[in-house]
Structure 1
């Protein structure tokens, strides 16, 4: 009897052991399959190259800034403005100068002190002088700064509207060819008005040096273009 019970017990234990072993293997196989399946589904294919890599925010901003800087057209600088002939910014005006306008008689006396000075283009003293240099030097000695070049002098001060209004101390301007308009090529200072047909001015003649002539002479009357009152 005991022998039969032992045999039955062994059989029962064998069955239980087999069942447990089968169940364990089944669970192991299911778990492994699940892990493999899960890994396959969750794995994202790697992006090719660096195109899929998103740059850091700071790098992106830097690149954008570099592109905008490179593509931005430089602002063109405004060209320099050429001064107009009547610009007088470098010369003292009547309202700002500390010195009073020189007396006409003083100007005339200084100008006549140059009488006989030979003509020299670009000259500024009694060794040799040209027409615009005479005007500039005379007013410099009188304590006033005026333009040096004749065309600049022809825009300095205010224009005398009529020949009949010309007075001593006014400046006279001439063109090279009689009866034609053109650039100012000669200038002088009025020294005396003796009548309607006798306006005397001092100037530096290219052939005779510093001398006085009549505006109404044939040569000068036909070349006269304007008169200016500097002060």
Structure 2
């Protein structure tokens, strides 16, 4: 009987020991896996953060430019009333003779070529474009050189014999013959002066003539 109880007691103890060991093993086995997974996730998150380029602030786009004025906008200007004002235009233009050249200038302390045209007409109460390329589209084009008259505007490009943008302008003051058309302009080197369209320098750079009246 004692032997049986002893064996029964031993079995109970052995069962408890096995159960405890199994529980302990399960605890020891599961805990490291959970910690390892947690550390792995944290590590992957750190790598991801390290590889991710910081978000840039949105680039602000430059303000859209205002659309260029349409040809209808030329109605803000007014044309000289016929040829009656031409002698006055020529007379006023010649009062600027000797004025030094100044880019963007508008008076007798300094003036540029398109400024001379604009200012002369302003003094007779006529508003015309200020920029030379706009002036080159104002009025009616003179089809033939032989039809050029006093008061017409002449336009030139920078290089002789080559196409290019309008870079210079002047007002015709006198037509003395087929090869002597005199115009007044603001020379970059010599200020406001009169020259012949048929001179070697200007003949090769001339591109068009416009009649603003």
TM-score range, shorter chain: 0.5 to 0.7
CA distance in 2, matches of 1:145, 1:106: 15
Q: Does residue 144 of the first structure (1) align with residue 144 of the second (2)? A: no
The aligned counterpart of 1:117 is 99
Give the alignment partner of residue 204 of structure 1, picking from 180, 183, 186: 186
Give the alignment partner of residue 151 of structure 2, picking from 157, 166, 169: 169
- Written as runs of structure 1 = structure 2, the 5 A alignment for 1:173-192 is 173-192=155-174
Q: Could you state the TM-score of these two structures normalised by the residue count of structure 2?
A: 0.66
Q: Does residue 91 of the first structure (1) align with residue 73 of the second (2)? A: no
Unmatched runs of 5 consecutive residues or more in structure 2? 1-64
Describe the SS at the equivalent of 1:114.
coil
Compare CA radii of gyration and give the structure with the larger one. Answer: 1
Describe the SS at the equivalent of 2:75.
coil
Aligned length: 148
C-alpha distance after superposition, 1:183-216 (max 9, x if no partner):
1000000000000000000000000000000000
The aligned counterpart of 1:126 is 108
Describe the SS at the equivalent of 1:193.
strand
The aligned counterpart of 1:219 is 201
Runs of 4+ in 1 over 2 A off after TM superposition: 79-87
The aligned counterpart of 2:14 is none
Contact in 1 for aligned 2:99/2:192 (Cα 8 Å) = yes
Contact in 2 for aligned 1:189/1:203 (Cα 8 Å) = yes
- Written as runs of structure 1 = structure 2, the 5 A alignment for 1:72-83 is 81-83=67-69
What is the alpha-carbon root mean square deviation over aligned residues?
1.8
Q: 1:228 to 1:149 in 2, by over 3 A?
A: same
Q: CA deviation at 1:83?
A: 2.9
Contact in 1 for aligned 2:181/2:198 (Cα 8 Å) = yes
Unmatched runs of 5 consecutive residues or more in structure 1? 1-78, 95-99
C-alpha distance after superposition, 1:33-82 (max 9, x if no partner):
xxxxxxxxxxxxxxxxxxxxxxxxxxxxxxxxxxxxxxxxxxxxxx9754
CA distance in 1, matches of 2:142, 2:72: 15
Q: CA deviation at 1:91?
A: 1.1
Contact in 1 for aligned 2:77/2:126 (Cα 8 Å) = no
The aligned counterpart of 1:17 is none
The aligned counterpart of 1:107 is 89
Q: CA deviation at 1:92?
A: 2.5
Contact in 2 for aligned 1:85/1:152 (Cα 8 Å) = no
